[in-house]
Amino acid sequence: MESWVEIVSAIFIYIGVIFLVISSVGIIRLPDFYIRMSAITKAATLGIGFIVTGITIYFNEVVIMNKSITIILFMLLTSPVAAHVIARAAFRNRVLFWEKTIIEEFKPYLKEHGAMPETNVDKADLPGKKQ
């Protein structure tokens, strides 16, 4: 029979593994680079946070708790910054948006910077004109 510490730690680790599975399915299934970015950043950070919390509960030491807080703080600090920087670099390199992305309010900015190819803007126009 396992102790309560092991059961609670295993529950936390499995919640984290489920979040990592969600983000890994999202990077395959989602249609657009910018949508995939949101799946990666949020779900992976939360998954690693849960896994490290479960490990802290299992070891029950102050040193491990400091290391876990360091890992979670680094992930919370660096993950949004890296996602923002890569998304801005992709936007400047004219990576295409998804066809069904709503970019009505965004369009003057895109035309001003020349970051949107004309064909993609026309495709985004089509459903609005039909209705």
Partner 1 sequence: MNAFHISLIVAISVISICLIMVMIRFFKGPTLPDRVTAFDLFSANIIGITAIYAVLTDNTSVMDVAIILSLISFLGAMSFAYYLNK
Site for partner 1 in 1-60 (CB under 8 A): 2, 6, 9-10, 13-14, 16-17, 20-21, 23-25, 27-28, 33, 36-37, 40, 44-45, 47-48, 51-52, 55, 58-59
Query: Contact, 32 vs 98, CB < 8 A?
Result: yes
In whole angstroms, give the CA distance from residue 13 to residue 110.
Answer: 43
Please identify, using beta-carbon distances, which residue of 95 and 125 lies nearer to partner 1: 95
Which bin fits 117, alpha (ψ -120 to 50), beta or left (φ > 0)? beta
CB of 55 to partner 1, least distance (A): 5
Tell me: does residue 95 bind partner 1 (CB under 8 A): yes
The CA dihedral of 113, 117, 123, 128, to the nearest 10 degrees, is: 10
98 burial via Cβ count (<10 Å: 0-12, 13-18, 19+): middle
> Which residues of the shown chain bind partner 1 in the complex (CB under 8 A)?
2, 6, 9-10, 13-14, 16-17, 20-21, 23-25, 27-28, 33, 36-37, 40, 44-45, 47-48, 51-52, 55, 58-59, 61, 63-64, 67-68, 70-71, 74-75, 78-79, 81-83, 85-90, 92-93, 95
